[in-house]
């Protein structure tokens, strides 16, 4: 009860105690609750201390607060898979999702579409108005693109002014899936053609 943050289930603690009773020690990551109610990650090591008869007299637990490490890991993961300007998946994550989509499509027979988009005259905007304004435009484009696709589809930024949309599960018929992709493309053109603030 002392360690329980409510984020680990009963099976977690059952496994922890099974290891502790078998090996006499357990270590691992878990979430704990501070006195103020805040939940934080920690690395905990528990060791059983035996008395002279070989029975467990008590347990000693030591822990380290690993909040900063977890935040650094999340930041590294974010930088590895997401574009820092638009927060869209980057090339690496797009390729991973594309591989998964191909596998899924091969099993289900569902078709998909891959759309490539680049912005006309973006370099001119960057050169004349500055990179800050260029980044703002990229963010607005990213937001508009996300509204044009379904939740399970992927909008990624390859770099510069290049975006890719991965549409999955468009249907098994070539005509049906092509019509759906064409409708999404028209929706994208309409959204991107609106004025930008």
User: For residues 78 and 76, what is the distance between their CA atoms, to the nearest angstrom?
Assistant: 5
Averaged pLDDT, 10-23? 90
For residue 27, the cross-strand partners are: 45
8 Å CB contact between 50 and 56: yes
Backbone φ, ψ for residue 115 (5° rounding): -115, 130
For residue 25, the cross-strand partners are: 47
8 Å CB contact between 39 and 31: yes
Q: What is the pLDDT of residues 91-147, one digit of tens each?
A: 999 999 999 999 999 999 999 999 999 999 999 998 999 999 999 999 999 999 999
CB half-sphere exposure, 125, CA atoms < 13 A: 15
Edge to edge, what strands does the sheet with 25-33 contain? Answer: 25-33, 39-50, 56-65
8 Å CB contact between 60 and 40: no
User: Hey, which bits of the chain come out as E strands?
Assistant: 25-33, 39-50, 56-65, 111-118, 154-159, 162-171
Active site residues: 161
Residue 3 has pLDDT above 90, yes or no: no
Helix (H, G, I), strand (E, B) or coil at 60: strand
pLDDT value for 194: 94
Residue 77 has pLDDT above 90, yes or no: no
Q: What is the pLDDT of residues 146-170, one digit of tens each?
A: 999 999 999 999 989 999 999 999 9
8 Å CB contact between 90 and 82: yes
pLDDT value for 1: 55
User: For residues 136 and 143, what is the distance between their CA atoms, to the nearest angstrom?
Assistant: 11
Averaged pLDDT, 6-20? 87
Distance of CA 25 to the CA centre of its chain: 33
pLDDT value for 85: 95
* Angle between helix 131-148 and helix 122-129 axes, rounded to 10 deg: 140
Write the CA distances from 69 to 28, 34, 41, integer angstroms.
Answer: 14, 18, 9
User: For residues 135 and 129, what is the distance between their CA atoms, to the nearest angstrom?
Assistant: 11
pLDDT value for 4: 62
């Amino acid at each position: 009860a002392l360690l329980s943050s409510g984020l680990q289930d009963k099976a977690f603690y059952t496994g922890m105690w099974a290891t502790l009773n078998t090996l006499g020690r357990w270590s691992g990551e878990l979430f704990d609750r501070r006195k103020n109610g805040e939940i934080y990650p920690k690395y905990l090591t528990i060791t059983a201390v035996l008395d002279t008869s070989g029975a467990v007299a008590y347990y000693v637990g030591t822990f380290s607060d690993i909040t900063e490490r977890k935040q650094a890991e999340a930041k590294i993961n974010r930088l590895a898979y997401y574009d820092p300007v638009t927060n869209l998946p980057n090339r690496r994550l797009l390729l991973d999702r594309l591989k998964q989509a191909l596998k899924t499509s091969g099993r289900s027979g569902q078709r998909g579409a891959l759309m490539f988009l680049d912005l006309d005259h973006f370099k001119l905007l960057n050169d004349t108005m500055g990179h800050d304004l260029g980044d703002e435009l990229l963010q607005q484009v990213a937001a508009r693109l996300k509204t044009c696709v379904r939740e399970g589809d992927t909008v990624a930024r390859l770099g510069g002014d290049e975006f890719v949309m991965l549409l999955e599960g468009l249907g098994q018929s070539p005509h049906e899936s092509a019509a759906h992709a064409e409708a999404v493309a028209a929706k994208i053109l309409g959204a991107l053609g609106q004025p930008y603030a």
